């Protein structure tokens, strides 16, 4: 299901997040103060808007509180990044709906004191990886192999315990979602190319490969 996402700050990181989410079928409000950058994002994001996100009235007029997720990706000005985050909170946006980019540890600590739960540093995640994990706390370490195909780790939910991969719909080379189970990670052990009759144990991680649409469906269904 398409989500409403706002990305504030369209530098290299923010641009990659916005473009990837748009390619995944989500509605993306892309905000930047630079008109040249906004022109570059016409057609590759849903609503590219030139605006100053450090003005509370601007955020209010854009209906920012109606968005499911807001990514504060401003990287050139730490003060603007923090001010925008504060304004979002003052407008009533939940801390859990904000993802903020931090330039360094001090910046990250400041965001944590504001109550932000998801903080991204350039060393930790790429924009593409963030886009694919933004709606799932279970899908980790996503790596894009092509524009619409990638690999990621999925933590098995409790209700998968003691069920075989076949029973869970992962049968043959590809399951019904066109996703391949490459391996199972169980504690410190790894089972490569697990058999269809291999039973999942609580706490297992599955290494999955498939189309972005297929991976997203598996995550939503799980």
Strand-pair category, 118-120 with 98-101:
parallel
pTM of the predicted model as reported, rounded to 2 decimal places = 0.64
| Largest CA-CA distance found in the chain, in angstroms, rounded | 58
Neighbour order of strands in the sheet with 69-72:
47-50, 27-32, 4-8, 69-72, 98-101, 118-120
What per-residue confidence (pLDDT) applies to 114? 92
What per-residue confidence (pLDDT) applies to 166? 87
What per-residue confidence (pLDDT) applies to 187? 86
What per-residue confidence (pLDDT) applies to 168? 87
Regions in the chain scoring below 50 on pLDDT: none
Question: What's the CA gap between 194 and 199, in Å, rounded?
Answer: 9
As beta bridge partners, residue 191 has 184
3-state secondary structure of 72: strand
Q: Residue 101: which of 188, 14, 199 has the closest Cα?
A: 14
- Domains in the chain and their CATH numbers? 4-132 (3.40.50.720), 136-221 (3.30.70.1450)
Quick: pLDDT tens for 123-175: 555 555 666 666 555 566 666 656 667 777 888 888 999 999 988 888 755 55
Q: Note whether 99 and 70 are within 8 A (CB).
A: yes
Residues in CB range of 106: below 8 A, 6 or more apart = none
């Amino acid at each position: 299901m398409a989500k409403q996402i706002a990305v504030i700050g369209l530098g290299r990181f923010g641009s990659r997040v916005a473009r990837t989410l748009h390619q995944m079928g989500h509605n993306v409000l892309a905000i930047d103060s630079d008109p040249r950058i906004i022109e570059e994002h016409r057609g590759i994001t849903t609503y590219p808007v030139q605006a100053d996100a450090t003005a509370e009235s601007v955020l209010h007029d854009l209906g920012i509180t109606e968005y499911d997720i807001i990514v504060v990706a401003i990287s050139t000005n730490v003060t603007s990044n923090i001010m925008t985050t504060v304004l979002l909170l003052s407008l009533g946006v939940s801390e859990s709906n904000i993802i903020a980019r931090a330039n360094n540890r001090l910046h990250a600590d400041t965001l944590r004191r504001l109550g932000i739960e998801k903080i991204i540093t350039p060393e930790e995640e790429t924009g593409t990886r963030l886009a694919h994990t933004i709606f799932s706390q279970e899908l980790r370490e996503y790596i894009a192999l092509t524009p619409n195909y990638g690999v990621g780790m999925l933590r098995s939910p409790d209700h998968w315990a003691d069920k075989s991969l076949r029973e869970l719909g992962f049968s043959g080379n590809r399951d019904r979602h066109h996703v391949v189970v490459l391996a199972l990670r169980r504690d410190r052990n790894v089972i490569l190319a697990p058999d269809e009759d291999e039973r999942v144990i609580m706490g297992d991680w599955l290494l999955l490969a498939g189309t972005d649409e297929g991976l997203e469906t598996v995550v939503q269904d799980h």
